[in-house]
Structure 1
Amino acid sequence: MSPRLPVFPLGTVLFPGLVLPLHIFEDRYRELVRHLVAQPEDTPREFGVVAIRRGWEAASAEVSLHDIGCTAELRQVTELDDGRFDIVTVGRRRFRLTGVDAESRPYLTGEVEWLPEPSGQEDLAELLAPRVLAVFRRYLRLMRTGGEAVDVELTEQLPEDPTVLSHLVAATAALTVEDRQELLAADDTAIRLRNELRLLSREAALLGQVRAVPVPLSELAVPVSAN
């Protein structure tokens, strides 16, 4: 029988090892938090975070979800006076969503298939990691010189482990949800790193072109249509 998880649709992509704070205000997700808190201490308190392909978080009947997600492990819970929650979670493990149940509980649940990082291309990942690290450092420098807020500690303490690096780059680079989803769904670390080389090179080139524009960026803004 396939494992079953509570499912939390979001407009973002979670990666293993990355922190995801959430403010819980909908009744159904308050119920989800209460369900997790009530689990025995030795039971993983985790739910599946899946990026929304189409629809809105608040309208489960209209939501279309990507099929690859990542579990979020509940690490900290603060209940507010009005019953809302502020929680801190950490990405734990990837999965493929094989079925969704919108009827059994107030929140979505889903049958999942776990997606561990397969072995076999470790040597290639070890070769790609330093290249991704170098391009990512250049990308962060361009972001910082362009006035973007960049965590200084991040630029100085980047991980060397290929898998950890691949997840950090995917989560912190200014990529689209579609780009991040592609990286989450990559079959292994080497493929993810190779895709990140392509995406980071693209983004760094775009940033370099913008920095070369000899007029203030505000002058290039297009007025918003009233329609």
Structure 2
Amino acid sequence: MTNFVPIFPLSIVVYPGEDLNLHIFEPKYKQLIKECFDQKKPFGMPVVINNKVNELGTLVDIVEISKLYDNGEMDIKTKGQKVFRVLEIINEVPDKLYSGAIVSYPANSDHGKKLLMNKVVAAIKELHKLLKVNKPFHKEEDQLSSYDVAHHAGLTLEEEYEFLSLTNELQRQEYLKRHLAKVLPVVAEMELLKEKIKLNGHFKNISGFNIS
């Protein structure tokens, strides 16, 4: 299936099911949001990395316009729907300020492994504990998917985009598992280093080494 969608390229990755709040201030996107909201149509958010619009993005629905300012700017709430692939960008759309794209929707399997997901969630909680971060999940733990926790795992923008390209839940779970297995020891070592640095300058109560 292919179709035309208005596009709002941004340097962020939005995942299916994710809630995203945006402040809209550019004239072309004010037009895009107003038309999509009035017509109850979604729009596409292709990912921008290093000033380049990439081929993958996420279709999002406008949940509500939370605030409309006197100058036409607005605060909106959106929700990620599904991943798309850009087939062709239409830079100039007749009578529109915004651009659009012809997109297709890759098949996406949501079948993962519950035990593996539990391990991923446990590793993320350990990461947050080490970093002293409080970022609660927005679902019960037994209802979480890889999309729900990806932004909790400390991925770079490039890694988030790579994660978006995975069209199988099991692959996504494995990706997060490998990422967390790589970063957790590094973060733990950094925390240990921070504690060592804090001790410098303090009086230390340390037994001397007995060489006899």
Name the TM tier (shorter chain): 0.7 to 0.9
CA distance in 1, matches of 2:58, 2:36: 17
Q: Which residue among 141, 145, 170 is the counterpart of 1:159?
A: 141
Contact 1:18 1:171 in 2 (8 A): no
Q: Secondary structure of 1:183's partner?
A: helix
Aligned partner of 2:113 among 98, 108, 125:
125
Q: Deviations along 1:65-100, whole A, 9 cap, x unmatched? A: 121111111011021111101101011111111111
Gaps of 5+ in 2: 199-212
Give the counterpart of 2:43 among 28, 42, 47.
47
Q: In 1, Cα distance between the equivalents of 2:69 and 2:22?
A: 13
Give a deviation string over 1:133-175, Cα, whole Å, max 9, x none: 221221121122xxx4x23x439x55324xx420122123221
Give the partner amino acid of 2:100.
Answer: T
Task: Tell me, in whole angstroms, the C-alpha distance in 2 between the residues paired with 1:36 and 1:130.
Answer: 38
Cα distance in 2, alignment partners of residues 203 and 108 from structure 1 = 39
**Are 2:58 and 2:84, in contact at CA under 8 Å, matched by a contact in 1?**
yes
Aligned position for 2:29: 29
Q: Which residue of 2 aligns with 1:115?
A: 106
Q: Letter of the aligned partner of 1:215 in structure 2?
A: I
How far apart are the structure 1 equivalents of 2:145 and 2:83? 16
**Any unmatched runs of 5+ in structure 1?**
56-63, 217-227
**Letter of the aligned partner of 1:36 in structure 2?**
C
Whole-Å separation in 2 of the counterparts to 1:102 and 1:159: 42
Aligned partner of 2:58 in structure 1 is 70
Q: Contact conserved, 1:73 with 1:89, CA < 8 A, in 2?
A: yes
Match of 2:83 among 91, 94, 98: 94
- Contact 2:28–2:98 (CA under 8 A) maintained in structure 1: yes
The amino acid of 2:19's aligned partner reads: V
Distance 1:154 1:188 in 2: 22
Runs of 4+ deviating beyond 3 Å? none
Counterpart contact for 1:70–1:94, Cα < 8 Å: yes
Distance in 2 (alpha carbons) for counterparts of 1:98 and 1:158: 37
- Structure 2 residue corresponding to 1:172, chosen from 152, 171, 193: 152
Q: Given residue 195 of structure 1, which amino acid in structure 2 is its aligned partner?
A: Y
TM-score (norm 1): 0.78
CA RMSD of aligned residues (A): 1.9
Name the aligned partner's letter for residue 191 of structure 1.
Answer: Q
8 A contact 1:93–1:116 mirrored in 2: no
Q: For 1:215, which of 192, 197, 208 is the aligned residue? A: 197
